[in-house]
Amino acid sequence: MTLRLGDIAPDFTAETSEGTIHFHKWMGDSWAVFFSHPRDYTPVCTTELGAVARIKGEFDKRNTKVIAISVDPLDSHAGWIQDINETQDTTVNFPLIADPDKTVANLYDMIHPNASDTATVRSVFIIGPDKKIKLQLTYPASTGRNFAEILRVLDSLQLTANYSVATPADWQNGQDCVIVPAIKDEEIPAKFPKGHKVIKPYLRTTPQPNL
């Protein structure tokens, strides 16, 4: 199954380090960041889970739940979480899915035979409250994920879901945005009362509208 942006994220029921979840029900009206790990006790993933635990408050502020998956069973997860808490000086505060039969991994196309026919690649999905996939990223095993970038993309997705703007290259929360081409010049003053700047007829900017 190949998933694309805009597809409904597959629903599933799974055992996690925080009990049984039904994914769509667990999400509720929140956004979700769903990310995978090839197996327990892997060094890069240990640092990643610790990093997410330390900044979980940032996801909470954005009405976003975080959840991870590894193909190892729950008893293995329990030991690994202890190691993460110890080595990363934090407390894992989000669920870690156990997927020993790879049901969820296959549902989300997390096993890439050219990389490994047994282990999941390190995928990231951002899923909106409408349960649609808004972003997909796939990392190789050797490169740790940049969760500051994932927060940046989340800010952009939440902003652009509610306003007729896009975010330019290297945009950070609080910076000017691009007015989408579908907005006519005569509509701009009513939609963007903070003002706007015309750089080119197709390139118009405005202060971030939700601040």
Whether 177 is a known active-site residue: answer no
List, as one string, the DSSP characters of the chain. ----TTSBPPP-EEEETTEEEEHHHHHTTSEEEEEEESSTT-HHHHHHHHHHHHTHHHHHHTTEEEEEEESS-HHHHHHHHHHHHHHTTS---S-EEE-TT-HHHHHTT---TTT-SSSPPEEEEEE-TTSBEEEEEEE-TTS---HHHHHHHHHHHHHHHHSSEE--TT--TTS-EEEPTTS-GGGHHHH-TT--EEEETTEEEE--TT-
Catalytic residue among 32, 45, 69, 179: 45
Active site residues: 45
